[in-house]
């Protein structure tokens, strides 16, 4: 069963999807169900395929560039302005795990997008490899990030239009 199906399926009513030590390749993931989380065990690597891989799963920007004089419209609910490897768009969500790594692997977007979410905890993990700035927190409330290391191609955290963000 694919990761997307596990995260979005009818049994995804809560709880954490745990990844033990190992390497797990996946396309971008969106957490849409309340109370669902991802926990990485020590040495676990959740990784986007390399962009140079001919079988890599591509993702385009969530919004095209704006041409003309008017500003672009805001992104739809549950989305950031650019694509992300992991998107959290639900309340009461958890991402983390001691010794685990979320590897964007050169993906042309954010490592993490938290959009239109509330009560989100991100802790004790490494986020690396985004070709863009790492983490966009957008239109969200009560987001706590602790014990996280970021290595990205540009910037770190960008809390945007959000409240009660603890970094």
pTM over 0.85: no
Give the integer Cα–Cα distance in Å for 122 and 53.
29
Give me the tens of pLDDT residue by residue for the chain, a chain 167 residues long: 567 666 766 555 578 889 999 999 999 999 988 998 999 999 999 999 987 765 544 433 333 333 445 555 666 777 887 889 999 999 999 999 888 999 999 888 899 999 999 999 999 999 999 888 899 999 999 999 999 999 887 788 989 999 999 99
Q: Which of 52, 79, 49, 54 is nearest to 64 (CA)?
A: 79
Question: Which residues fall within 8 angstroms of residue 55, CB to CB, at 6 or more apart?
Answer: 49
Phi-psi region of 32 (alpha: psi -120 to 50; beta: other; left: phi over 0): alpha
* 133 and 109 Cβ atoms separated by less than 8 Å: no
pLDDT of residue 15: 82
DSSP symbol at 11: T
Alpha-carbon separation of residue 74 from 17, 68, 95, 104, 112 (angstroms): 31, 16, 26, 25, 18
Report all structural domains of the chain as residue ranges with CATH numbers, in order of start: 3-12+26-50+77-166 (2.160.20.10)
């Amino acid at each position: 069963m694919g990761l997307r199906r596990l995260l979005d399926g009818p049994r995804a009513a809560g709880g954490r999807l745990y990844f033990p030590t190992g390497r797990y390749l996946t396309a971008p993931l969106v957490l849409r169900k309340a109370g669902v989380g991802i926990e990485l065990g020590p040495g676990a690597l959740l990784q986007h395929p390399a962009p140079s891989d001919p079988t890599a799963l591509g993702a385009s920007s969530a919004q095209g560039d704006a041409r003309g004089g008017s500003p672009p419209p805001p992104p739809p609910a549950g989305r950031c302005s650019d694509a992300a490897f992991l998107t959290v768009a639900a309340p009461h969500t958890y991402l983390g795990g001691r010794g685990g790594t979320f590897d964007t692997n050169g993906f042309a977007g954010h490592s993490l997008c938290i959009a239109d979410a509330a009560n989100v905890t991100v802790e004790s993990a490494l986020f690396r490899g985004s070709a863009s700035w790492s983490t966009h927190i957008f239109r969200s409330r009560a987001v706590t990030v602790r014990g996280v290391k970021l290595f990205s191609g540009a910037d770190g955290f960008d809390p945007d239009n959000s409240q009660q963000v603890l970094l």
